[in-house]
Amino acid sequence: MASCKCSSSNMRLSSARRVPARVARGAAVSRRSNFSQALNTVVVGLAADSGCGKSTFMRRMTQVFGGDPAPPAGGNPDSNTLLSDMTTVICLDDYHLNDREGRKVSGKTALHVEEQEFDLMYEQVKALKDGKSVDKRIYNHVTGVMDAPEKIESPEILVIEGLHPFVDKRVRDLCDFSIYLDISDEIKFAWKIQRDMAERGHSLESIKASIEARKPDFDAYVDPQKEFADVIIQVLPTQLIPGDTDGKVLRVRMIQKEGKEMFDPSYLFDEGSTISWIPCGRKLTCSYPGLKMFYGPDTWYGQDVSVLELDGQFDKLEELIYLESHLSNTSSKFYGELTQQMLKNSDFPGSNNGTGLFQTLVGLKIREFYELLVGKEVKVAA
């Protein structure tokens, strides 16, 4: 167990460099009250490279709204769509221009913008946002071909996840809230090996070749989208172990844009200050190398942001309530809800580190954003 002393020396707090911009919550609701009456569907966009945890994040987020996400009953077992009580998640891989064999002919990767049908993507996302149903085809990740279309009804909350939700301005403008999962190359490689070898049967050699072939298009077309996201979850190697290359201990940052209506960034201890905190080892069990948190203001592509950071991992999820009690603006409906959600999904990847914690926290923030936007409360069981 890491040695952590409970003393003031474990928390460094400096005066704020900037007072974060604030939008009064009541005023925000008032300004949008007429809009909410006509609103059909709230659209949430999630961008990330392949193998970066989009599926896990979607399951954490949609469960916050109630129900367990599952493919359409009686439909294609290889469907990428997930349905739950209030949400529908569609995968933007379904808008690839060519299937796997077609891309071999074109010589372009699935990350290239010329391999996407942005017109169809825009038309169908807009139709769903406007309350209409669509017949959306299915890109089969097992066979690599396009399967027959499936009917998608307009939900209360539509989540579009994939490689390019913010590339086309028309699609980007349809998103009410946007998230980007920013995974470092070292961590991405480890995750992709685990997923593609274990779940898709790919060889290590083919995975390495795929990563190298995709990287130029990722840098050109996927990575720049993080400029447009309201929240960025950044996953990096730990700084607690000098020279660590294993990638098992993670440093995770939740970068939150300031000034977005109906969204108040979460913070640690004192809003707007810069804080470095080592939690008490008697209240939070942490194996080597321990755990450290950070909070402070920063800038991201020229925009003011607030950053929450967690480096390391925790051993007992039930003790997470100790961390939760020091966070503010979590958008939870009752004391301990963040910890409860983490315990509920304890078998999900990242449940012992900042990836799971911040994915769950973003889910709570999106739920509150939805409630304020449409003027409707989401009921949850305490």
Domains and CATH numbers, the chain: 1-38+230-374 (no CATH), 41-178 (3.40.50.300)
Write down the pLDDT at residue 15: 39
Return d(Cα 134, Cα 151) in angstroms, integer.
Answer: 6
Write down the pLDDT at residue 39: 63
Q: What is the mean pLDDT of the chain?
A: 87
Q: Is the pTM above the cut of 0.95?
A: no
Low-confidence ranges of the chain (pLDDT < 50): 1-9, 13-37
Write down the pLDDT at residue 183: 92
Write down the pLDDT at residue 21: 39
First to last CA, the chain: 32
Write down the pLDDT at residue 137: 95
Write out pLDDT tens, residues 170-217: 999 999 999 999 999 888 877 777 767 776 678 888 888 878 888 999
Asked if omega into 216 is within 30° of 0 (cis), the reply is: no
Looking at residue 219, what DSSP letter applies? I
Between the CA of residue 368 and those of 82, 88, 264, 331, what are the distances in Å? 21, 18, 10, 6
